[in-house]
Structure 1
Amino acid sequence: MVNTYEYQCDNPACDVTTFAENINGFLNYYSRMTDRCADFICTLAMETSCEDCARICRAMNLRTSGDSVIRLLVKRYSMQPEAECGSIIGWMTLCLRRGTPMGESL
């Protein structure tokens, strides 16, 4: 069990009224599960389906639903960097798209 504390700011000029502890690498702010547990659920959901993942988690006493698994996957997907697309196409790709064997010339 982890005890975290919430603090209140008494400064009237401060915009933020409450502060909560952040345990880096273990539990983030407003998190309901550890990063390790979220990684496990995402990996399980990618190997099965979201509903199957929720059923397996319930059998392991992890309280989650299929919708929560989907939200977790969407959150993880949005945190990924955008993939860069190349501007050059290779000759093998061109041959495969045209249906020409790679050994023959265009």
Structure 2
Amino acid sequence: MGDERKASGSLFIPDAPYFVGLFLCHGDDRLNHPYLGSYFKKGGRYVCADRPGIGEMVTTRFDLLNAYRSYFDKEKDDDPGISGIALALDTKKAGNNGQSSAFINEIRFYN
């Protein structure tokens, strides 16, 4: 979000703007908790959005501006624009030799 690049914490990983990565919970993950990753400690948070059952459809509503203000902008005076969107699947812990399927039906941004 925005265009100010924050350090990744590694010489081998490019710096990036603030970001919030949503993921589906597994194990003991807490819903809506902003986790820190191995990198991007100053500018990135990973948030468990839902804990669906196998084959269950998920609809996620997430207030990105309030999350940004809570995680990064303690003065609550900055409203950066969305400067990118990325989608990724990680199946390395999935059963059946990592075979998995998923689909995205719709993405909406509300102002």
Q: Which has the larger radius of gyration?
A: 1
* TM-score, structure 1 as length reference: 0.26
TM-score (norm 2): 0.25
- Structure 1 or 2: more strand by fraction: 2
Higher RCO, 1 or 2 (CA under 8 Å, sep at least 6)?
A: 2
